[in-house]
């Protein structure tokens, strides 16, 4: 996390107002909700997991056993069960 001296970016009047509530401490000012990104949306991690899970579902529908899928994808049996028995939610994320 990057820290910036308030005197460099905020007007003096606003600094004095903030000092009524806090002085000499580090505070975190969160982004606005509209600025948040979903996990993995920038790195491509989310898309990779969605493709992997779709492949697992496809393989399961092609009569591969849960145990075999766990071995093939290096995942636990419980994780495979969660993937194959849940609805595909990737379209809801975008």
Residues 32-78: tens digit of each pLDDT: 877 777 777 778 888 999 999 999 999 999 999 999 999 999 999 99
- More confident of the two residues 24 and 41: 24
Residue 14's pLDDT is 95
Joined together, the tokens standing for residue 69 give: 């899928």
Mean pLDDT of the chain: 87
Distance set, CA 30 to CA 9, 38, 77 (Å): 16, 15, 38
Angstrom distance (rounded) from CA 33 to CA 7 = 25
Is this structure's pTM higher than 0.85?
no
């Amino acid at each position: 996390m990057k820290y910036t001296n308030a005197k460099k970016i905020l007007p003096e009047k606003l600094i004095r107002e903030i000092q009524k509530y806090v002085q000499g401490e580090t505070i975190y000012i969160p982004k606005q909700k509209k600025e948040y990104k979903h996990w993995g949306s920038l790195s491509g991690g989310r898309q990779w997991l969605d493709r992997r899970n779709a492949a697992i579902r496809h393989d399961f529908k092609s009569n591969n056993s849960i145990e075999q899928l766990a071995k093939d994808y290096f995942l636990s049996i419980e994780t495979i069960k969660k993937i194959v028995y849940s609805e595909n939610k990737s379209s809801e994320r975008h």
